[in-house]
Amino acid sequence: MADTSDELKSELMRNIAPQDAAELDVAETREWLDSLDYVLQSGGPVKVARLLRELTVHARQNGVKLPFTANTPYINTIPADDQSLMPGSPDVERRIKSLVRWNAAAMVVRANKAEEGIGGHISTFASAATLYEVGFNHFFKGHGDGAGGDGDIIFFQGHAAPGIYARAYLEGRIDESHLENFRRETRPGGGLSSYPHPWLMPNFWEYPTVSMGLGPITAIYQARFMRYLEDRGLKPKSNAKVWAFLGDGETDEPEALGAITLPAREKLDNLIFVINCNLQRLDGPVRGNGQIIQELEAAFRGAGWNVIKALWGREWDPLLAKDRDGLLVKRMGEIVDGQYQKYAVSDGAYVREHFWGVDPRLLDMVKHLSDDQLKKLSLGGHDPIKVYNAYKAAMEHTGAPTVILARTIKGYGLGEAGEGKNITHQQKKMNEEELRAFRTRFGIPIADADIAKTPFYRPAEDSVEVKYIRDRRQALGGYVPSRKTRSEPLASVPADVFEEFYKGTEGRKASTTMVFVRMLSKLLRDKEIGRLVVPIVPDEARTFGMEALFRAVGIYSHAGQLYEPVDMDTLLYYKEASDGQILEEGITEAGSMSSFIAAGTAYAAHGVNTIPFFVFYSMFGFQRIGDLIWAAADARTRGFLLGGTSGRTTLAGEGLQHQDGNSHLLAYPVPNLVSYDPAFAYEIAIIIQDGIRRMYIDQESIFYYLTIMNEQYAMPAMPEGSRDGILKGLYRFRAAAKADAPLRAQLFGSGAILLEVIKAAEILESTYNVSADVWSVTSYSELYRDGHACERWNMLHPGETPRAPYIAQCLKDAPGVFVAASDYLKALPDSIDRWLPRPILTLGTDGFGRSESRADLREFFEVDYRWVIVATLAALARDGKIEASVVQQAMKTLDVNSEKANPATS
């Protein structure tokens, strides 16, 4: 993209006759520019801006078509004249930065010497060192000692982790043995994690970022959540910022840019993005044939952000000052990124010939510079003064978020080992010569003889550098990153909220969704924890019958409500308020999940025990935003995920894309997620009550997933003694009428399918003389985990009394056949089969969903009571307990077609 003035000129040229074009010569342009200079000197920039605006309007009124451009020229946003001086000692800071660079590179090189393939990245941090160091020395606010946690929240670019560790080493927070154990995460005491992972380093990293795109979107919602806490009076107002460091290649991820209109709309001036524009990603240039910086500038300016470009280092300032005719600015703006990369790896002579050589006037501008000096003209992102001023401007900007587009070179300083080369992202090794060159370039006091060992280097405790680092961090509120639980545990879980649900609905029909919403409303009203509850919903509140909450607690909007809602005269009007409690995120599951992460980690980041309840259309949860759920797990997020309208056959209508028979299986891999498929009100009450206890009193790093449904039925009272079983994943809901009957069955059901199973049990008893126990399986995954934990223990403890999994304890003496029916994949019941005394026959909903009525869907997927009966009889026949003819007859009676197509594959 060319710069604005250039585009404007060429467009103007196109709009006028050729003979006029010839007349619009250099002298005329000069005259215009001189006049503008005069106005600038006499009236200042504001007057110039007004004049230009009026000129534009005038031109448009006279039919001149002005092209739209969201770009500014390819130069620094902050002119050299407007720069502030940098406080502190540039010299000491440069030495510190060099040491960080060295140790960061050394830890990666050593990790790859010790063992092939341990990996690590040198070049990302090499390009970003100045961006981080200026932050560490002057801006990043630590959380301090206070319990409140009012420091900045910083999302570090995942691949820059070695640099962050190297700094922590200089700070004295970690020692050589830690650096030695970079990426050796299983070592005793725990090595340094490959990337930012709070799960692995819970006292250090705050937020995971390495799955690209998740850092930016979670940072955006974090900044908004900080405002939410302040607006609702849960946290004092502060000047804390959210910093998100990301790569330019990373911006191709839809999550990275997908939410950038929100912070502008919400005027989140507490948010600062720093995009390290080294113009390269993993394989090669981000935009070889274009300019990623200009592309990002247009996107962010269009979205309403304050954009600060820091493209050129200080050596360019005098050259730009001489650029009276805009030749240099024009040249800067016409080079594509692939070519800029070529300049970065070439010598000064090449740059002189190819960049400057296109015009003798340009060549003239640099005739006083040697090839070596030309080569060393630095870039904005490597110049502390430019970076400092960009950050300062970002800190001072009000009313909008800021993005800093800092130009750097990938692998800066690596020289032959990879600087600017396409292979640089994966460079993990440096030979002795390359190390020596790197050492010399950054003045690291390591002797030639020692270079081969790639020693770490930390100056003495009383050295100028270490003292400087310590002083700076102390002045800024302590070390970053640093994570800890900053909230006190909750004192208790309100018991009365849950009381009514144990009794059931006494015949009245309700869905589990209605039950949950009622429970949520009661929690919101609770005087102890009500204000901590954060309902989050992505434009589905009405789907779940939550609209009554709009009026009751309000929808959060920093601006309040600037309009008269159309339904103002109704009881349940759409109420927005600056102290509203609901986060109604609009149609963004990714954004809502990011809010969930912010709210569910506030106990650490902000010292506030917010309890998020994120209710979503279950098919658009795990299936769509599974990686954000994984990140939530890593971040030790607490709270409840609620998959609404769940179940493959429970959601009538909608069909293939909406019916969720998958999510419970997709929840299996998340190690600290506790998942339930409850059927009844009391099950939900027990689970949520215990969940709040485990997460907010016992401070366990777990979170919950519950599916809730919209099929309505009478909620029974809680059977005596079922509490433990509900939580462990299985309890007997109904005992067989005749325990000593010759034909026996154990039937498993969960969620809404439990009702089909209960009905089947009744018919089996009344019509087929089969006495059946009915078990509510609230969580296959909990049973599965417990089963494997016992199995593993037994394997490792031969000769000792084996441990029996909970499910085996419950069913070891259970007579008869085992049949399970689930609204999810058959893999769920199959996953616990081995701990039963006899194999289980499984009914489940493998396959693509269909839009149909509930009854037809259950017939189609073979999970209704008729199929449960047939399956039970078939299992009894298989075991020789009844004749095959009984099953055949039942199939006839129940209209079960043996030649029906298999729904799993149709």
Ligand X SMILES: Cc1ncc(C[n+]2csc(CCOP(=O)(O)OP(=O)(O)O)c2C)c(N)n1
- Report in angstroms the alpha-carbon separations of 267 from 257, 271, 305: 17, 9, 9
- Calpha distance 82→92 (Å, rounded): 25
Task: Provide the minimum distance between the beta carbon of 417 and ligand X in the complex, in angstroms, as a whole number.
Answer: 16
- Calpha distance 215→634 (Å, rounded): 13
Task: Provide the minimum distance between the beta carbon of 257 and ligand X in the complex, in angstroms, as a whole number.
Answer: 13
Q: Residue 581 binds which entry of ligand X, Mg ion, none, with Cβ cut-offs from 5 to 8 Å by kind? A: none
Q: Residue 212 binds which entry of Mg ion, ligand X, none, with Cβ cut-offs from 5 to 8 Å by kind? A: ligand X
Task: Provide the minimum distance between the beta carbon of 125 and ligand X in the complex, in angstroms, as a whole number.
Answer: 9
Task: Provide the minimum distance between the beta carbon of 136 and ligand X in the complex, in angstroms, as a whole number.
Answer: 18
Q: Residue 235 binds which entry of ligand X, Mg ion, none, with Cβ cut-offs from 5 to 8 Å by kind? A: none
Q: Are 201 and 193 in contact (CB under 8 A)?
A: yes
Tokens describing residue 901:
């197509």
Q: Name 731's Cβ contacts closer than 8 Å, sequence gap at least 6.
A: 719, 722, 724, 725, 775, 776, 778, 810
Task: Determine the residue with CB nearest ligand X.
Answer: 247
Q: Residue 149 binds which entry of Mg ion, ligand X, none, with Cβ cut-offs from 5 to 8 Å by kind? A: none
Provide the Cα torsion 370, 371, 377, 379; round to 10°. Answer: 180
Q: Which is nearer to ligand X, 131 or 271 (CB)?
A: 131
Q: Residue 660 binds which entry of Mg ion, ligand X, none, with Cβ cut-offs from 5 to 8 Å by kind? A: none
Tokens describing residue 228:
């939410």
Q: Which is nearer to ligand X, 256 or 670 (CB)?
A: 256
Q: Residue 210 binds which entry of Mg ion, ligand X, none, with Cβ cut-offs from 5 to 8 Å by kind? A: ligand X
User: Which of 346, 428, 470, 386 lies closest to 126, judged by CA?
Assistant: 428
Task: Provide the minimum distance between the beta carbon of 675 and ligand X in the complex, in angstroms, as a whole number.
Answer: 25
Task: Provide the minimum distance between the beta carbon of 307 and ligand X in the complex, in angstroms, as a whole number.
Answer: 18
Q: Which is nearer to ligand X, 156 or 613 (CB)?
A: 156
Q: Are 77 and 3 in contact (CB under 8 A)?
A: no
Q: Which is nearer to ligand X, 630 or 824 (CB)?
A: 630
Q: Which is nearer to Mg ion, 247 or 263 (CB)?
A: 247
Count CA atoms within 13 Å of residue 460 on its CB side: 3
Q: Residue 143 binds which entry of Mg ion, ligand X, none, with Cβ cut-offs from 5 to 8 Å by kind? A: none
Q: Which is nearer to Mg ion, 279 or 670 (CB)?
A: 279
Task: Provide the minimum distance between the beta carbon of 410 and Mg ion in the complex, in angstroms, as a whole number.
Answer: 6
- Calpha distance 503→136 (Å, rounded): 57
Q: Which is nearer to ligand X, 406 or 754 (CB)?
A: 406
Task: Provide the minimum distance between the beta carbon of 341 and Mg ion in the complex, in angstroms, as a whole number.
Answer: 11
Task: Provide the minimum distance between the beta carbon of 278 and ligand X in the complex, in angstroms, as a whole number.
Answer: 5
Task: Provide the minimum distance between the beta carbon of 253 and Mg ion in the complex, in angstroms, as a whole number.
Answer: 12
| Bridge partner list, 821 | 749, 843
Task: Provide the minimum distance between the beta carbon of 345 and ligand X in the complex, in angstroms, as a whole number.
Answer: 15
Backbone torsion region of residue 85, taken as left when φ is above 0, otherwise alpha when ψ lies between -120 and 50, otherwise beta: beta
Q: Which is nearer to ligand X, 212 or 870 (CB)?
A: 212
Q: Residue 124 binds which entry of Mg ion, ligand X, none, with Cβ cut-offs from 5 to 8 Å by kind? A: ligand X
Q: How far is CA 333 from the centre of its chain?
A: 34
Q: Which is nearer to Mg ion, 196 or 249 (CB)?
A: 249
Q: Are 783 and 729 in contact (CB under 8 A)?
A: yes
Q: Residue 850 binds which entry of ligand X, Mg ion, none, with Cβ cut-offs from 5 to 8 Å by kind? A: none
- Calpha distance 664→495 (Å, rounded): 28
Task: Provide the minimum distance between the beta carbon of 246 and ligand X in the complex, in angstroms, as a whole number.
Answer: 7
Other CB atoms within 10 Å distance of the CB of residue 100: 26
Q: Which is nearer to ligand X, 159 or 458 (CB)?
A: 159
3-state secondary structure 806-822: HHHHHHCCCCCEEEEEC
Task: Provide the minimum distance between the beta carbon of 410 and ligand X in the complex, in angstroms, as a whole number.
Answer: 5
- Calpha distance 657→849 (Å, rounded): 7
User: Which of 170, 156, 157, 155 lies closest to 106, judged by CA?
Assistant: 170
- Calpha distance 119→112 (Å, rounded): 6
Q: Which is nearer to ligand X, 379 or 715 (CB)?
A: 379
Q: Residue 211 binds which entry of Mg ion, ligand X, none, with Cβ cut-offs from 5 to 8 Å by kind? A: ligand X
SS3 576: strand
Q: Which residues contact ligand X (rule: CB under 6 A)? A: 124, 127, 159, 210-212, 247-250, 276, 278, 280-282, 286, 410, 425
SS3 613: strand
Q: Which is nearer to ligand X, 124 or 378 (CB)?
A: 124
Give the DSSP H/E element, type plus range, for residue 163.
helix 161-170
Q: Which residues contact Mg ion (rule: CB under 5 A)? A: 247-249, 278, 280
Q: Name 242's Cβ contacts closer than 8 Å, sequence gap at least 6.
A: 152, 153, 154, 155, 219, 222, 223, 226, 270, 271, 272
Q: Residue 587 binds which entry of ligand X, Mg ion, none, with Cβ cut-offs from 5 to 8 Å by kind? A: none
Q: Which is nearer to ligand X, 124 or 487 (CB)?
A: 124
Task: Provide the minimum distance between the beta carbon of 275 and ligand X in the complex, in angstroms, as a whole number.
Answer: 9
Q: Are 104 and 364 in contact (CB under 8 A)?
A: no
3-state secondary structure 760-810: HHHHHHHHHCEEEEEEEECCHHHHHHHHHHHHHHHHHCCCCCCCCCHHHHH
Q: Which is nearer to Mg ion, 419 or 859 (CB)?
A: 419
Task: Determine the residue with CB nearest Mg ion.
Answer: 247
DSSP H helical segments within 615-679, as ranges?
Answer: 622-634, 663-667
